[in-house]
Amino acid sequence: MAITYLHLIFLALAGFTLLCALGVVASRNLFHSAIWLIGAFAGVAGLYWLLEAEYLAIAQIMIYIGAIATLIVFAIMLSRGMMIGRVKMNNFQAGISAVVAALLFLMLSFVLLQVNWPVVEQAVSVDPIPMIGEAFVTTYVIPFQVIAVLLSVALVGAIMIARER
């Protein structure tokens, strides 16, 4: 297998993403966690770009970095829960959680390296974005409507829960 520059880009993006994810769970200061989280989201967007899913890469940047990360930073600021100082950052089950996560990773990588995936050597369709739009109004029209209603209800509910009484 020839190593091309794409492999190097993939390894850089994957290493960046996983490093940022480790920063999210290992930072004591929650604000630093949020900054690492933005890095992890950006790395995942880069992986989408590498997988030729440009629409999702842009959506990832706009929704995750633009909206969700901002919301999380607001919540940290509003709850003064930065965990600075001598506060314990992990609960009593941190050790067993680390073991479970490591075992899960080993099991998943063992399984997915065993399986012979039915990979198709084929280019992606010329323009996937019109296909996505078409899928939303034909095959997936019911899930699309349901998700739209769910999102509206959730956002109105969030405003009702968080407002001052």
Partner 1 sequence: MSATIPLSWFLLVGAGLFSIGLYGALARRNAVAVLMGIELLLNAVNINLVAFNRYIVPQQVTGQVFAIFVLAIAAAEAAVGLALIISIYRSRDTVNLEDIDLLKG
What is the footprint of partner 1 within residues 99-158 (CB under 8 A)? 100-102, 104-105, 108-109, 112-113, 117-125, 128, 131-132, 135-136, 140, 143, 147, 150-151, 154-155, 157-158
| Nearest of 105, 95, 80 to residue 21 by alpha carbon | 105
What's the min distance (Å) between Cβ of 25 and partner 1? Answer: 4
What's the min distance (Å) between Cβ of 115 and partner 1? Answer: 9
Here's the x/- map for partner 1, 6-25, by CB under 8 A: it reads as xx--x---x--xx--xx-xx
Question: Distance between CA 17 and CA 48 in Å, rounded?
Answer: 12
94 binds partner 1 (CB under 8 A): yes
Q: Which of 84, 98, 137, 141 binds partner 1 (CB under 8 A)?
A: 98
* Radius of gyration for the chain, computed over Cα atoms and rounded to the nearest angstrom: 20
Question: Distance between CA 25 and CA 18 in Å, rounded?
Answer: 11
Give, as one character, the DSSP assignment of residue 62: I
What's the min distance (Å) between Cβ of 69 and partner 1? Answer: 9
For partner 1, the closer CB: 78 or 85: 78
CB count, 10 Å around CB of 17?
19
Question: Distance between CA 63 and CA 51 in Å, rounded?
Answer: 19
